[in-house]
Amino acid sequence: MSRAALEGVMVISFGQGAVVPDAGKILGELGANVIKIESSEHLDFVRTLGPKNEVAGFNETNRNKRSFGVDLRTDKGKDLVRRLIKMSDVVAENFRGGVAKNLGFDYESVRKFKPDIVYISSQGFGSGGPHSDYPCYGPMLSSASGMLSIWKQPDDPYPAGSNSPLPDHMASKHAAIVILAALDYKRRTGKGQFIDMAQTEVAAALMGEKYLEYTMNKQVPQPMGNRCPYAAPHGCYPCQGFDNWVAISVFTDEEWRSFGKAIGNPAWTQDTKLADIPGRLRHVDELDKRMAEWTATREAKEVMELLQSAGVAAGVVQRAPDTMNDPQIAFDKALIELDHPTVGKRLYPNIPFHMSETPPAPSSLAPFLGQHTDEICRELLGISDEEIKGLKEGKILESP
Amino acid sequence: MAPKKREGALTGYRVLDLTDSKGAYCTKLLADMGADVIKIEPPCGDLGRKMPPFLNGEPHPEKSFYFLYRNANKRGITLNLESDEGKDILKKLAKSADVLVENFGPGYMDSLGLGYDVLRGINPKLIMAGITEFGTDGPYRDYKGSNIVDFALSGVMITSGYSGKVPTLLPGTPAYDAASVAADIQILAALFCRDTIGKGQKIDVSVHEAARHGLYPWSVTIYSYSLTPGGPLPMPEGRLGAQIFPVYPCKDGFVRVVAITPRNWQALVRVLGSPEVLLMPEWENFIYRVGNADDLYAIMVEFTTKFTQIELWEAGFREGVPIAPIYDIPTFVNSADATARKFFIEVDHPVAGKGQYPGPPYKWTETPASVRRAAPCLGEHNEEIYCGELGLTTDDLIALRYDGVL
């Protein structure tokens, strides 16, 4: 059995929602011992978005960690968590701004008893600005950062964004990255530190070139929809059935000729005005209309395979069942079935990490609230069963 | 003497960056944290240099904003990897490198004789990451990807855009950036354990696989949870952004509301002055609001347009319902939050001149991440690295350039 990359690393997660829990999931995937601190009084709100223990988003995001049920409003509960932090390498929190401080678990408090801690704090707007205490969710990050303003078709009445909380899950990966870099710095120097990540700034960082359009060209970036300033066709085209689509992009003239050939060289693909990139860009409205007429009578998967075998980039606009039937996803074992005690066998994305020397172990299930309270008390805190019982009766600890 | 610039967390590590626009964000994040990233471009330059937008709209290899932003903090050299001399030079560079990142496609580095097995013979501690569109093997191995195609396949695009209209691309290069961050996570984990296990390792990242994990890993899980044996299939996933997280016009633009719980909704009603028409108890139910979003929108507009973005944002905070303004890019750049946090950093590039660049989205107390230098001009550091470090002479450089090696 090979070693996990983060074997021996311990992480205390005061995470809720997506960003810190998803980062914790990733560190757990890499072999860290991740402990989620929670209680019925201080519930991760994602637990409340459906029947108890059966919220898909929670059970996806909180894999690979253990749950320690403890009431942080009690002195004894605080003391137990302080003892866990003293054994840890990392503390991560994304409480609403100011909450960690009120609880006595902000960086300044923690470093007093654990000077070399790597501490990451992530609020929507980050600290230091006027909105640092504002609660924030994914759809607000894209709104306040400017991302949403250009995430639309030019003729949409307003930008609708997505029902998925983008870019939350990209912010979580940035959190994992900075935690890993800080851990490595600590490994080499013995020094911990505090990292304050603003999730709105992650949204901006993902499209930094758009901000240069304003700061250097003094222009307000405009939405481009699915179009590309240097390629056509470049879009999403309707296919057979209800709300089915295929994305197609043609960059070079050679690809354009391959596209024509693959679909049987109908007259419109032979039109000389479409033979080169400037011509296709000039006549992009007409081109998109022709493309849509051609795709409309076909299945998205059939279009993808036909064009890909001709060397043209094309892909089904997938929804979950398409992903579940995607042969490459199956080949990669990119989905994994886990048997959860209350929801049964369900699919989860597998870990997309392929490391030759430290391959990640299979994913473990998300915990019930307080599922590992006893185990953590015994293993890490050396508390007797009798004492655990007393702490539970005193409502300091909880377990399912 | 100028004060020594504070080091980043990764200062001391060297990264050889053979990526183009697909992996530029991966190495950018490492460079922002202080790694010495050497961008190795073919003599004709990285394709990213051709990507718009450009400074003053003028296509020029040193004026692509995409290139300038994503390659800041890196040094740049040119090298033709397909020439024998070029291969030898890369091997010499690999000796002292900690990390190599490439996104050429399955098998390309092996075909040059520069695969992981060769390079680890030269430097057993090397960590080599390869980013491919569809993986190194499997039925889609040779398929072509692109920004829009990879986003389509990620499972997110179907949710993205206006209800009843075409699925819409997220600005930027989302699938490539998702692959880039997956590569970073593995590279850093490999660096962390390198001394313990005594060697580097090979890392493979497939954009197709990493994109859904990176952008929105819940899609299949939510679907899988909604399946019941013998029960009806769930409704096909659509574009419900405007129904679930509604957007409303106000005096000076639009705001977006995230009201999930009944308490959120009650707070929203208070923010709007508790109008009678919103007190109907059905509206407290989130699912009912989503199902009747058009009707609700028609009612809400009358009240939301009485306020400004900031008024709604602040009142939402006071009352307990998350509301955010929909800012355009200039408003974010000039916002009090971005200003207070000094998010934008002045960078001076020899050709493109001075500009305010988005900085790293995090502040570090001990080892600040920052933009320390502008993106390299094509071959800017050839002399510094080839002569200064590999011991070539300027005459060698002239000859190698003439031969098409540099």
Q: Which amino acid is at A389?
A: K
- Strands of the A245-249 sheet, one edge to the other: A234-238, A245-249, A313-316
Pair B157, B71 in one domain: yes
Residue B384's CB: how many other CB atoms inside 10 A? 12
Pair B102, B249 in one domain: no
Name the CATH topology of A234-324. Answer: formyl-coa transferase, domain 3 (3.30.1540)
Write the residue in A6, A228, A246 that is nearest to B192 by C-beta. A6
> Cβ contact (<8 Å) for B162 and A148?
no
Q: Is B200 domain-assigned?
A: yes
What is the model's pLDDT at position B173?
Answer: 96
Taking only the tens of pLDDT, chain B with its 406 residues reads: 444 567 999 999 999 999 998 999 999 999 999 999 999 999 999 999 999 999 999 999 999 999 999 999 999 999 999 999 999 999 999 999 999 999 999 999 999 999 999 999 999 999 999 999 999 999 999 999 999 999 999 999 999 999 899 999 999 999 999 999 999 999 999 999 999 999 999 999 999 999 999 999 999 999 999 998 888 888 888 999 999 999 999 999 999 999 988 899 999 999 999 999 999 999 999 999 999 999 999 999 999 999 999 999 999 999 999 999 999 999 999 999 999 999 999 999 999 999 999 999 999 999 999 999 999 999 999 999 999 999 999 999 999 999 999 9
Q: Is B23 domain-assigned?
A: yes
What is the model's pLDDT at position B3?
Answer: 44
Pair B202, B292 in one domain: no
Q: Is B252 on the interface with A (CB under 8 A)?
A: no
Q: Is A178 on the interface with B (CB under 8 A)?
A: yes
Q: Which residues of A are catalytic?
A: 168
Q: Is B90 domain-assigned?
A: yes
Which pLDDT tens digit goes with each residue over A64-79? 999 999 999 999 999 9
Q: Is A190 on the interface with B (CB under 8 A)?
A: no
Which pLDDT tens digit goes with each residue over A101-160? 999 999 999 999 999 999 999 989 999 999 998 988 889 999 999 999 999 999 999 999
pTM: 0.97
Counting the structural domains of chain B, the total is 2
* Stretch 217-236 of chain A: residues touching chain B, C-beta under 8 Å: 217, 220-221, 223-226, 228-230, 234-236
Q: Is B177 on the interface with A (CB under 8 A)?
A: yes
Q: Is B198 domain-assigned?
A: yes
> What CATH number corresponds to the domain at position B317?
3.30.1540.10
What is the model's pLDDT at position B81?
Answer: 98
Pair B83, B207 in one domain: yes
- Nearest Cα of chain B lies from the Cα of A304 at a distance, in angstroms, of 10
> Cβ contact (<8 Å) for B185 and A30?
yes
> Cβ contact (<8 Å) for A159 and B247?
yes
Residue by residue, DSSP assigns B120-133 as HHH-TT-EEEEEES
Q: Is B4 domain-assigned?
A: no
Alpha-carbon gap, residue B225 to B236, rounded angstroms: 14
Pair B182, B250 in one domain: no
Superfamily covering domain A10-206+334-398 = Crotonobetainyl-coa:carnitine coa-transferase; domain 1 (3.40.50.10540)
- Strands of the B253-257 sheet, one edge to the other: B247-250, B253-257, B323-325
> Cβ contact (<8 Å) for A153 and B201?
no
How far is C-alpha B127 from the geometric centre of its chain's CA atoms? 21
> 3-state DSSP: chain B helix, strand, coil percent, rounded to 5?
40, 15, 45
Q: What percent of chain A has pLDDT over 90?
A: 91
Pair B323, B194 in one domain: no
Mean pLDDT of A56-69: 96
> Cβ contact (<8 Å) for B329 and A157?
no
B36 lies in which domain range? 14-215+341-402
Pair B186, B94 in one domain: yes
Indicate the pLDDT class of residue A362, thresholds 50, 70 and 90: confident
Q: Is B6 domain-assigned?
A: no
Residue A212's CB: how many other CB atoms inside 10 A? 25
Per the CB < 8 A criterion, the answer to whether B129 and B99 are in contact is: yes
Alpha-carbon gap, residue A25 to A23, rounded angstroms: 5
Q: Is B396 domain-assigned?
A: yes
- Joined together, the tokens standing for residue A239 give 């296919």
Q: Return the domain boundaries, chain A.
A: 10-206+334-398, 234-324
What is the model's pLDDT at position B2?
Answer: 44
Q: Is B231 domain-assigned?
A: no
Which pLDDT tens digit goes with each residue over A170-196? 999 999 999 999 999 999 999 999 999
> Which helix or strand (DSSP H or E) is residue B92 part of?
helix B84-95
What is the model's pLDDT at position A97?
Answer: 81
Pair B40, B169 in one domain: yes
Pair B111, B158 in one domain: yes
